[in-house]
């Protein structure tokens, strides 16, 4: 008898991952490919959308083979798609690509945005909930317009990369709100096209297609580019990878913190309902974005620091990235360790990844590690205090990510993040997408949060990659 299986796709900045899970949530297999970017003159970075789609298809083909080897006969009943949000394509009325995806870390459009003045900056942050810097889709679209792209063409449509993959799978054009929140095209106060952005680009309302929320079906998969086992599977775009990673780790609560402790040390806070323009502006002044959560009727606050990068660089300097040296450094750490008389750590401009370390006296390896941990925890505390001043204290907190495998990191984070517990799920974005897809394929009649919560609880206790 054929088993029902669910696939979760995570189209990330570095890698594209696809995982397969059983109806119970049990992990079956995974596949990944590098996400390729094309470096152009003048520091521009783009991708080829169809080549990225091929990466997804290659992962799916590999996963079908490995899953068949484990289960025998199976049928994919649902596919969930998550990943990066800002990069996308413009399609013409005949669905041909007019513009290729621009990397979110490509700074084009900075001059165009800055030329719009201080009042625009304030309105931008209050309405879009994004920090004013050239990472949004709008900044690259403004650059395209200044270089001659005609946004008045009839029938053109913007699709985020995940939405483009879903379109190729199903033929449906739609936008998911947590992804649209990262474009700077969406007015967070009403979830409609931000009038100022529409006027600046001179586009029609139809430039952004109809909205579909996380868990809503884009329709059955009907493309011959993937194997028969996937034909007819319900496809859903589950949303921005930070939101779906939180969901896949079990952070689905109201007023909950999710700390993703990787190279980027991300503080993700859920808040019920919609914030005011004043709250969004206050948060963005702190460097915290405020957009839609993948879960309906909730807001997500996202702030990050270089905490994980600083830890990695400290260990590199000590020659202790892994193995016995890392274990010794971790075991030797104590919260009572005094280091500030022999070492100082500071950062330069907020847009730089440079960290300045000044060693004095008899600074040793444990001093450097303690200083790196102190830097990370201080950044966490500063961000949490800023968020709490605007939206109140969080109720619960969940941490996930590679750095939390170290005792010293867990302990120092627990000292600054109240009520912190830990998840051991690797690749929570892909798992979250697969779990949401299972809810979609099974009709979506129950609570999405309850459905995912049961699968996460079992995965956390039994199944690991």
pLDDT tier, 264 (very low <50, low <70, confident <90, very high otherwise): confident
Does residue 117 surpass a pLDDT of 60?
Answer: yes
pLDDT at residue 463 greater than cutoff 60: no
The answer as to whether 226 is a domain residue is yes
Give the CATH number, domain containing residue 41: 3.30.420.40
Q: Are residues 234 and 340 in the same domain?
A: no
Number of domains, the chain: 2
- What's the confidence (pLDDT) of residue 348? 58
Provide the 3-class DSSP secondary structure of residue 76.
Answer: strand
Rounded CA-CA distance 18/307 in Å is: 28
Residue given tokens 């109240």 in the structure block: 418
265 neighbors 259 (Cβ within 8 angstroms): yes
Q: What is the pLDDT of residues 35-48, one digit of tens each?
A: 999 999 888 999 99
How much is the pLDDT for 38? 95
What integer is the mean pLDDT of 449-461? 86
Q: The domain containing residue 342 runs over which residues?
A: 253-422
The DSSP result for 52-93, as a single string, is HHHHHHHHHHHHHHHHHHHHSSEEEEEEEEEE-SS-EEEE-T
- Partners of residue 270 on adjacent β-strands: 300
Can you give the pTM of this predicted structure?
0.92
Each residue of 313-350: pLDDT tens digit? 889 988 998 889 999 999 999 988 877 666 777 665 55
Average pLDDT score over residue span 129-156: 96
* Range with lowest mean pLDDT among 42-56, 122-136, 146-160, 339-353: 339-353
Work out whether strand 157-160 and strand 88-91 pair parallel, antiparallel, or are unpaired.
antiparallel
Is residue 70 exposed (0-12), middle (13-18) or buried (19+ Cβ within 10 Å)? exposed
For residues 259 and 239, state if they share a domain: no
Indicate whether 229 belongs to any domain: yes
Average pLDDT in the chain: 93
> Is residue 248 a part of any domain in this protein?
no
Q: Is the pLDDT reported for residue 464 higher than 90?
A: no
Phi, psi angle pair for 75, to nearest 5°: -135, 130
pLDDT tens-digit map of 382-393: 999 999 999 999
Mean pLDDT, residues 258-267 taken together: 91
Q: Do 225 and 299 belong together in one domain?
A: no
Residues 276 and 236 reside in one and the same domain = no
CB 109 within 8 A of CB 142: yes
Asked if residue 257 is part of any domain, the answer here is yes
If asked whether residues 442 and 410 sit together in one domain, one would say: no
Does 54 reside within a domain? Answer: yes
Average pLDDT, integer, range 261-280: 94
Q: How far apart are CA 237 and CA 235, in angstroms?
A: 7
Place of tokens 């120092």: 412
Say yes or no to pLDDT of 462 above 80: no
* Domain identity same for 324 and 222: no
Q: For the residues 282-304, what does the mean pLDDT come to?
A: 96
Element (DSSP H or E) covering residue 149? none
Same domain, 214 and 282: no
Which of 348-352, 371-375, 408-412 reaches the highest mean pLDDT?
408-412
> Do 78 and 212 fall within a single domain?
yes
Identify the band that residue 465 occupies on the pLDDT scale cut at 50, 70 and 90: very low
My answer on whether 135 and 226 are in the same domain is yes
The arithmetic mean of pLDDT across residues 76-100, rounded, is 97
- The 10s digit of each residue's pLDDT in 226-241 is 999 999 999 999 999 9
Q: Hunting for tokens 């909205």 — which residue is that? A: 211
Residue 197 falls inside a structural domain: yes
Q: Output the CA angle 233-212-255, nearest 5 degrees.
A: 110
């Amino acid at each position: 008898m054929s088993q029902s299986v669910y696939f979760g796709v995570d189209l990330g900045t570095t890698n594209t991952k696809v995982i397969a899970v059983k109806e119970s949530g049990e992990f079956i297999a995974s596949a990944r490919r590098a996400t390729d970017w094309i470096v152009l003159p003048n520091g521009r970075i783009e991708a080829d959308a169809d080549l990225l789609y091929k990466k997804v298809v290659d992962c799916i083909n590999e996963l079908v083979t490995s899953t068949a080897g484990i289960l025998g006969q199976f049928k994919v009943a649902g596919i969930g798609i998550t990943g990066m949000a800002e990069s996308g394509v413009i399609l013409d009325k005949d669905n041909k690509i007019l513009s290729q995806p621009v990397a979110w870390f490509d700074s084009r459009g900075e001059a165009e945005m800055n030329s719009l003045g201080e009042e625009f900056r304030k309105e931008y942050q209050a309405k879009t909930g994004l920090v004013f810097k050239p990472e949004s889709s709008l900044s690259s679209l403004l650059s395209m317009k200044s270089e001659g792209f005609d946004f008045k063409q009839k029938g053109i449509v913007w699709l985020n990369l995940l939405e483009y993959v879903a379109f190729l799978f199903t033929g449906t054009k739609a936008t998911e709100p947590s992804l649209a929140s990262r474009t700077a095209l969406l007015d967070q106060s009403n979830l409609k096209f931000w009038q100022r952005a529409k006027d600046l680009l001179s586009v029609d309302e139809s430039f952004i297609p109809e909205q579909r929320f996380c868990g809503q079906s884009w329709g059955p998969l009907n493309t011959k580019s993937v194997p028969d086992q996937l034909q007819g599977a319900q496809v859903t775009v589950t949303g921005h990878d930070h939101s779906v990673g939180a969901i896949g780790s079990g952070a689905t609560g109201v007023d909950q913190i999710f700390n993703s402790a990787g190279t980027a040390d991300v503080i993700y806070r859920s808040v019920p309902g919609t914030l005011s323009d004043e709250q969004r502006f206050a948060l963005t002044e702190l460097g915290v974005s405020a957009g839609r959560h993948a879960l309906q009727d909730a807001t997500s606050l996202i702030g990050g620091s270089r905490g994980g990068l600083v830890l990695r660089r400290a260990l590199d300097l000590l020659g202790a990235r892994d193995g016995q040296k890392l274990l010794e450094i971790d075991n030797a750490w104590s919260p009572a360790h005094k280091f500030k008389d022999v070492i100082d750590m500071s950062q330069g401009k907020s847009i730089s990844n440079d960290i300045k370390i000044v060693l004095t006296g008899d600074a040793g390896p444990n001093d450097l590690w303690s200083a790196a941990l102190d830097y990370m925890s201080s950044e966490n505390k500063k961000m949490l205090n800023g968020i709490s001043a605007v939206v109140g204290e969080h109720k619960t907190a969940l941490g996930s990510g590679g750095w939390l495998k170290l005792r010293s990191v867990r302990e120092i984070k627990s000292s600054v993040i109240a009520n912190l517990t830990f998840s051991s799920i690797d690749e929570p974005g892909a798992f979250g997408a697969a779990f949401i897809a299972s809810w979609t394929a099974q009709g979506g009649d129950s609570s999405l949060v309850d459905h995912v919560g049961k699968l996460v609880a079992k995965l956390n206790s039994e199944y690991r990659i």
